[in-house]
Amino acid sequence: MSLNYVIHKVMSDFRLEKVSFSYKDSETLVLDDISIDVDAGEFVCVLGKSGCGKSTLLKLLAGLNFPTKGTIYFEDSEVKSASLNRSVVFQDYGLFPWMTAGENILLALKERYKEKSRQELKKIAIDSLRKVGLDDKVYNTLPKRLSGGMQQRVAIAQAISVDPKVLLMDEPFGALDAVTRLKLQELLLFLWKESEIKKTVIFITHDVDEAIYLANRIIVLGQSPSKIIYDKKVDNNIKVTRENQFSDSKIIELRNELISIINNDVNQKAINK
């Protein structure tokens, strides 16, 4: 067995081999011939215009949809269903409105820890709420009584409560006001950096600045049928902060490169129509 194979077995969380996707009632491809590896512990932002297939890709990784062609592997096993090891956070929070925040979190916990008592699960749920900066009383609060930012914190608490290996996040801050969005970006980075073993995060966004601030690897999808038109790890010498995000020459260069790639793809598709 080669050393490269051993490293691959240990380090790779996802492997996509020539993945294409179209919906059953359509012959039009949404994703076309996508092949990538995602290593354990990476924070990957997937960028692209609205409608390019970013959310579709995330659902394939989650096991909520399946490729029309090609194969997706998670830890070297083919993805054939959803899994609690791959938690998903959606833009619309994904909380059942008739259940309290705590009850929403318990739904996932009951599936993950079937041997634990309700009291033990409640403790895990409250600990998860605290990790995302929420008060214990939120446990007994219905989602409609919470602000959008608080609901999204509950959704993140639900996702991390089951201790998944991967967080799949579909534009989770897209519907929030600017200040709340910044706070939750910082919370997410804190949770990722402070973990003893970093979880793999795959984060869908159409915001270039959000991707630059969060990611250590950025992937850009072209317009549908989507192919990968950019895939690079962020230079380790680029340290993005709120203070230098719009002044550091390396960050400005990266921003301009990403915007140029996206715009050129849009213009090229318009010419070819």
Query: Residue 207 is part of a domain; what is its CATH number?
Result: 3.40.50.300
**171, 158: one domain:** no
**170, 159: one domain:** no
Last residue of a domain, one of 126, 146, 163: 163
User: Rounded to 5 degrees, what are φ and ψ at 41?
Assistant: 90, -5
- Residue 25: the pLDDT is 80
Which helix or strand (DSSP H or E) is residue 14 part of? strand 12-21
Mean pLDDT of the chain: 91
- Residue 28: the pLDDT is 85
Domain of residue 224: give its range. 40-65+79-85+166-273
- Residue 194: the pLDDT is 84
Position 148 pLDDT exceeds 50 = yes
CB atoms within 10 A of CB 148: 16
**259, 142: one domain:** no
**61, 111: one domain:** no
Q: Which one-letter amino acid corresponds to residue 61?
A: L
Position 8 pLDDT exceeds 80 = no
In whole angstroms, give the CA distance from residue 248 to residue 250: 6
- Residue 273: the pLDDT is 65
**268, 190: one domain:** yes
Is pLDDT larger for residue 158 or for residue 51?
A: 158
Q: Is residue 23 part of a domain?
A: no
pLDDT one-digit tens code per residue, 78-109: 999 999 999 999 988 889 999 999 999 999 99
Position 6 pLDDT exceeds 60 = no
Last residue of a domain, one of 109, 136, 163: 163
Average pLDDT over residues 8-28: 80
Q: If you compute the radius of gyration of the chain from its CA atoms, what whole number of angstroms results?
A: 19
Q: Which one-letter amino acid corresponds to residue 54?
A: K
**158, 230: one domain:** no
pLDDT one-digit tens code per residue, 197-245: 889 999 999 999 999 999 999 999 998 889 999 999 998 888 899 999 9
Q: Which two tokens stand for residue 102?
A: 């705590």
Number of folded domains that form the chain:
2
In whole angstroms, give the CA distance from residue 216 to residue 8: 19
